[in-house]
Amino acid sequence: MGKRIFLFILTNILVLATIMIVLNLIGFTGYIDNGKIQYQQLLVLSAVIGFSGAFVSLAISRWMAKKAMGVRVLDPNANLSSAERALVDKVHDLSRKAGITVMPEVGIYESPEVNAFATGPTKNRSLVAVSRGLLQSMDSDAVEGVLAHEVAHIENGDMITMTLIQGVVNTFVVFLARIAAFAASRFVKPELQGIVHFIAVLVFQILFSILGSIAVMAFSRYREFHADKGGAHLAGKDKMVHALQSLQRHVHAVDNSQSSVATLKISGKQGMSQLFSSHPDLNERIRRLHES
């Protein structure tokens, strides 16, 4: 679900901003020579920064998710409750069926939202986390469908592929932000150009990162369909459809009772807002599953 995408993109933006600030503080302007941009050098620098940011975000994705969401990891060897034991066993059973050799960490975070996510730098260093709200709102078959969907994300290596796409997006973000900042700094006095360039790079980099997330979100929506198919293979199509229908009923309940927050849910959005949605419309996901 959308948590892993949001955390990954947020971490990536923060990492890029940190790298940019450090480079500016040490006075690095290796792509400017005699008051002119050296585009080839800037492109190489942009690729190094862009892919570094993406891979750092990937490397700390599991740790970041635990800290940001307050995930309590369930130790399979501890004295777990029957519900916690069932959750761990089900994730491990689905993982073995998917051919994953090192079992994912399994965790719960305390939230009334109905949500779950999978993250981690590799298949063998992954995390599947579910909210308390999901466990309380869905029956066992729906929970199994959700877990199968998340395990399918791990099996498909979606975080790795997303990292590569994010690296390409970052490269263009860094490249274009510095060109725009350089142009902006030309409109002020020479003594102010340094500080204006510094601030403009930060502003343009964040702005272009948000715009670049459109491409990342498009990939996310595409991979959701594949994860649905993978979940249907692991848990059975009926359970996967049932999980999506259960989620759909929850979203409709939220829409009816809290219309002001309905746009934050993962039911899929219409119009321009669809460009920034990490998930396709639930009706479309259910339809495709029925037809597969």
Which residues are designated catalytic? 150
Beta-carbon contacts of 12 under 8 Å, excluding residues fewer than 6 positions away, are: 53, 54, 57, 166, 170, 209
3-state secondary structure of 109: strand
> CA 279, CA 244: separation in Å to the nearest integer?
12
> CA 204, CA 180: separation in Å to the nearest integer?
7
SS (H, E, C) 221-278: HHHHHHHHHHHHHHHCHHHHHHHHHHHHHHHHHHHHHCHHHHHHCCCCCCHHHHHHCC
Q: Are 160 and 125 contacting, i.e. CB atoms less than 8 angstroms apart? A: no
